Structure 1
Amino acid sequence: MEEEKKKKLYNSTIGAPIIPRCAQLWCFLLSIFTISACAQAFDYADALKKSLLYFESQRSGRLPYNQRVTWRDHSGLTDGLEQGVDLVGGYYDAGDHVKFGLPMAFTVTMLSWGIIEYRQQLAVAGELEHATEAIKWGTDYFIKAHTSPNVLWAEVGDGDTDHYCWQRPEDMTTSRQAYKIDENNPGSDLAGETAAAMAAASIVFKKTNPHYSHLLLHHAQQLFEFGDKYRGKYDGSVGVVKSYYASVSGYMDELLWAAVWLYKATDKDEYLKYLIDKAHCFGGIGWAITEFSWDVKYAGLQVIASKLLMEEKHTKHAHILEQYKSKAEYYICSCLNKNNGTNVEHTPGGLLYVRQWNNMQYVSTAAFLLTIYSDILQNSNQKLKCHGGIVGHQEILSFAKSQIDYILGSNPMNMSYLVGYGSNYPTMVHHRGASIVSYRENKGFIGCTQGYDYWYSSPEPNPNVLVGALVGGPDCQDKFVDQRDNYMQTEACTYNTAPLVGVLAKLLQIEDQSLDLNHDSPLLASY
């Protein structure tokens, strides 16, 4: 969960993937018609279904009648009570029970973006309803947390007391103190990201639930105005968050990020003007970035700006949008290892590697942006010019696919890092609720440190499978140790899984098209 909570390194042995000969032949043939050859065949439909199931495991509040994750029950039902506000609901971000506003909002933004880009693919897969439910669980909470135009509740609970205990969320005895930002205690980054999440979600619900969409947009506009008028970093106002989700990148990226999403949601020139006028002074066209995360939004912003450049109505702003695009290209080329200078490191097994703590978050966001950028190039019939050569949309999508396939098991450990997918996945995920007997099976109270005594140190697999969780993943040498106390590698976060939803929907579409080709082609049909 947290970027620098503790520092431990773990080692393990490396296995070798086995690729059947017939699979090699099939993948070679498939590559003639679609993206580059695959090493193994993966069930993207199953991975997509499971990734959306994960968000139900992370729900806080009163669970709905259609809750599919049955080992969870109601929790956090008095959140906000001490402060006289209803803060019941939302998501636990990872393996503990603090509700952190910034990563929660980024999770919702990424889920929304995935639906905006791949709505039809999600509908065909039968997962659109589950995806919109995952978004609404977050946005319902944001509506509650935004109690007045210039007040946003930023956090419920605090990491220090929470980490002292190992309990199920249903048994929580830790502090549920709530913290807010307001005019005197600004948090432009948090307000900006929450505005982005609500604006993006308003696009998702625009046709299916117009009243709700309008309500989200109203909150998004107020939050953006609040964040822009009263500027400051939220971790300066909410000190308890500094050890967990400090805003290292500052707030300028979130304000630009909110502006671009509000522009997409409203088509109002004032938001486009903000994006253009502040492009330089807020770092939008100055920062060349090699990560996209809950903290650093520049690469995502630059990719969306690149897409705006393709529309004829934006030609008068082409000079600035071209500069945004240039920085987006830098990010894409760095992932492909084709920059002259800074590239994202790759493990020997081919995984993007940004840093040792919860590296998979950077892999899933990169796979998402690469997929989006591949679509941009394909739709505009363009190619990407990196220092290391000219790249087509297929090569970019193929690389994004390689990252997803690594996650699903095409790696030196033969391990699926998406929990519950495949036959070999982490069974000792660093997660309180999953590691303790289900409340629905045993309603007996488990005390604060009792969980450490009986469950945290247990050598047995977790009694509950945290299906769809994307864990932190392997180290820079592709090594992974499946141990509950190895939190750098075995803890999962909502913002790890959120970007996977859109990419898996896209890959599933390609897989279906390939099957159609197989059916229609005498060459492929003969194998």
Structure 2
Amino acid sequence: MVAVGSDGGRMKSSAVVFVMVMVFLIHTVEKVIGEYDYGEALTKSLLYFEAQRSGRLPYDQRVRWRGHSGLTDGLEQGVDLVGGYYDAGDHVKFGLPMAFTMTMLSWGVMEYRDHIADAGEYAHALRAIKWGTDYFIKAHTQANVLWAEVGEGETDHYCWQRSEDMTTSRKAYKVDEENPGSDVVGETSAALAAAAIVFRDVDPRYSRLLLHHSKQLFKFADNNRGKYDRSITAAKNYYASVSGYNDELLWSALWLHRATEDDCYLDYITKNAYNLGGASWAISEFSWDIKYAGVQVLAARLSMDQNHRREYSQNSILTEYKKKAEFYMCSCLGKNNGTNVRRTPGGLLYVRRWNNMQYVSSASFLLTVFSDYLKAADKTDIDCSDGIITVEQVSEFVKFQINYILGSNPMGLSYLIGFGPRFPKRVHHRGASTVSYRNDKGFIGCTQGYDNWYGRQSDNPNVLVGAVVGGPDHNDMFRDVRGNFMQTEACTYNTAPLVGVFAKLRKQNHPNPIQTLANQK
């Protein structure tokens, strides 16, 4: 089913020839079979979040192989931390990637709300966001306290169990004034502010509640600065904050400005543009850790907004943000005088070997929204070091990346699980790889899962529909092996940025009348 690379020169040459031939065949087939069903991809991507739910599942849960889990989370610490999401194939609830997932999901719904409604998925999108934001409200127990992790990686990774059977530690960890965590607090503030915009029209009361918590969290993050992985050392080996917290402070302020239009946040963004790095750092990746490119795209939107009058100095600084956003765009499209994102022989953006698809999905989203912001400002191109790129070229590039994910690649695999005729069948995921709790409620012990399920050569008994796995290596090769977690593990923040992109691509192919949002709440 899959090809495996070799360290031998002859095998490497053969692999390259294989890739070149497959790329040619893929492009030929694409011309014959036409477009992918992006509406199906959208539907399945939202379904994935239901598979990752922690807590007591609702009556309308569609992923039927899951059951209730984590029902005592926070009990030992005297706080209710039931709910939220597992970020990947294990069962620790890491606050930083969970919050980033919700920010990106909210951003996509915000920008492409009508497109998502057209596809009949608006209600599902709102529920996916609310499952996360309800948890963040619970976790923010005091103005300067945020519970940022439940469980810990060492004991969790020792076991291979379904979430319904967990015997691992569910110890909860918090950040506070004495033990700060500006990165995780800032990202949670951003998630709540972005979600407040999404819910403003459909549930104003809930929107105001989200905004209240977001404002408190931003103040907490800014006034009590520090990296969360120094306060919660259990997170350091799994989600270390390599970029620090400066980007999250700007990120949070930008989302609060968009949610409130309060100029105090604009002042913060412009006055701290250089000392926090937003207008000075030129970055070629965007992820749960490094937000600068996202910060710069949001600020670029402000710089192109002609409806608000600002001081000359503010406009000048916002223009500097925009230049850095353009650096990111040019880097992705290979027009940045050598400082470009690498690509595989098959054309996929390639940042690093561990879960590379997260960078592809986040880049696809940023490129999509930035090109839309340019169009809204009647701008048609970006001036890069190595030439002009047009918004149409950006859109085509995004479509190429998305089609690669969906199956137009040398392996002929869809890296969106459950989409198309061929996709990875041995995803690195405890629940998916083990007999469904609904089919067999017999307890599976900590190491029993490794003995009876992890090492099996057969396909997973449950399909993790809508998950985006880590993806191929730098030569477009992929090994569908459960233990190959760098390639076969899926994460929520891989899928979240694609929701909006799928919705837009579907709309381009199916410009049907917009359904009323009232019918989908």
Q: TM-score, normalised by structure 1?
A: 0.92
Distance in 2 of aligned mates of 1:310 and 1:68: 42
Distance in 1 of aligned mates of 2:489 and 2:231: 27
Distance in 1 of aligned mates of 2:323 and 2:310: 16
SS in 2 for 1:153: strand
Structure 1 pair 156/405, CA: closer, same or farther in 2 (3 Å)? Answer: same
Structure 1 pair 40/486, CA: closer, same or farther in 2 (3 Å)? Answer: farther
Residue of structure 1 aligned with 2:433, choices 411, 435, 450? 435
C-alpha deviation, 1:512, in angstroms: 1.6
Aligned residues: 494
Structure 1 pair 336/444, CA: closer, same or farther in 2 (3 Å)? Answer: same
The equivalent residue for 1:3 is: none
Distance in 2 of aligned mates of 1:170 and 1:162: 13
The equivalent residue for 2:361 is: 364
Distance in 2 of aligned mates of 1:239 and 1:314: 45
Residue of structure 1 aligned with 2:261, choices 259, 262, 267? 267
Q: Please list, as runs of the form range in 1=range in 2, the aligned pairs for 1:373-452 lying within 5 A after superposition.
A: 373-382=370-379, 383-452=381-450
C-alpha deviation, 1:11, in angstroms: 2.9
Contact 1:308/1:314 (<8 A) preserved: no
The equivalent residue for 1:106 is: 100
Q: Which runs of 5+ in 2 are unaligned?
A: 7-14, 514-521
Distance in 1 of aligned mates of 2:28 and 2:194: 45
Q: Deviations over 1:105-151 (max 9, x none)?
A: 00000000001100000000101111110000000000000000000
What do you get for the CA RMSD once the two structures are aligned?
1.6
Letter in 1 for 2:184: L
C-alpha deviation, 1:23, in angstroms: 5.7
Residue of structure 2 aligned with 1:24, choices 23, 31, 56? 31
C-alpha deviation, 1:413, in angstroms: 0.4
The equivalent residue for 1:42 is: 36
Q: Deviations over 1:279-320 (max 9, x none)?
A: 010000110000000000000010011111112215422100
User: Is 1:346 equivalent to 2:335 in the alignment?
Assistant: no
Distance in 1 of aligned mates of 2:442 and 2:55: 20
The equivalent residue for 1:228 is: 222
Distance in 2 of aligned mates of 1:446 and 1:452: 10
Contact 1:306/1:325 (<8 A) preserved: yes
Structure 1 pair 444/158, CA: closer, same or farther in 2 (3 Å)? Answer: same
Contact 1:358/1:489 (<8 A) preserved: yes
Residue of structure 2 aligned with 1:90, choices 84, 89, 93? 84
Distance in 2 of aligned mates of 1:228 and 1:508: 40
Q: Deviations over 1:464-484 (max 9, x none)?
A: 000000000000000000000
Contact 1:10/1:486 (<8 A) preserved: no
Distance in 1 of aligned mates of 2:309 and 2:152: 45
Letter in 2 for 1:354: V
C-alpha deviation, 1:430, in angstroms: 0.1
Distance in 1 of aligned mates of 2:268 and 2:370: 23
Structure 1 pair 10/218, CA: closer, same or farther in 2 (3 Å)? Answer: farther
Q: Please list, as runs of the form range in 1=range in 2, the aligned pairs for 1:68-79 lying within 5 A after superposition.
A: 68-79=62-73
C-alpha deviation, 1:183, in angstroms: 0.4
Letter in 2 for 1:461: D
Contact 1:309/1:315 (<8 A) preserved: no
Q: Please list, as runs of the form range in 1=range in 2, the aligned pairs for 1:25-424 lying within 5 A after superposition.
A: 40-312=34-306, 313-316=308-311, 317-382=314-379, 383-424=381-422
Distance in 2 of aligned mates of 1:152 and 1:22: 51
SS in 2 for 1:131: helix
The equivalent residue for 2:518 is: none
C-alpha deviation, 1:391, in angstroms: 1.3
The equivalent residue for 1:521 is: none
SS in 2 for 1:287: coil
The equivalent residue for 2:490 is: 492
C-alpha deviation, 1:197, in angstroms: 0.1
Distance in 1 of aligned mates of 2:30 and 2:453: 41
Distance in 2 of aligned mates of 1:234 and 1:363: 26
Q: Please list, as runs of the form range in 1=range in 2, the aligned pairs for 1:501-520 lying within 5 A after superposition.
A: 501-513=499-511
Contact 2:95/2:184 (<8 A) preserved: yes
Q: Deviations over 1:296-355 (max 9, x none)?
A: 000001001111111221542210011000000000000000001310000000000000
C-alpha deviation, 1:21, in angstroms: 6.5
Contact 2:26/2:409 (<8 A) preserved: no
Distance in 2 of aligned mates of 1:24 and 1:478: 21
C-alpha deviation, 1:380, in angstroms: 1.7
The equivalent residue for 1:473 is: 471
Structure 1 pair 22/496, CA: closer, same or farther in 2 (3 Å)? Answer: closer
Structure 1 pair 20/265, CA: closer, same or farther in 2 (3 Å)? Answer: closer
Letter in 1 for 2:129: I
Q: Which runs of 5+ in 1 are unaligned?
A: 1-8, 26-38, 517-527
Distance in 1 of aligned mates of 2:383 and 2:339: 16
Distance in 2 of aligned mates of 1:211 and 1:137: 17
Identity between Structure 1 and Structure 2 (%): 65
Contact 2:305/2:377 (<8 A) preserved: no
Distance in 1 of aligned mates of 2:358 and 2:44: 17
Q: Deviations over 1:22-47 (max 9, x none)?
A: 9627xxxxxxxxxxxxx852110000
Contact 2:27/2:408 (<8 A) preserved: no
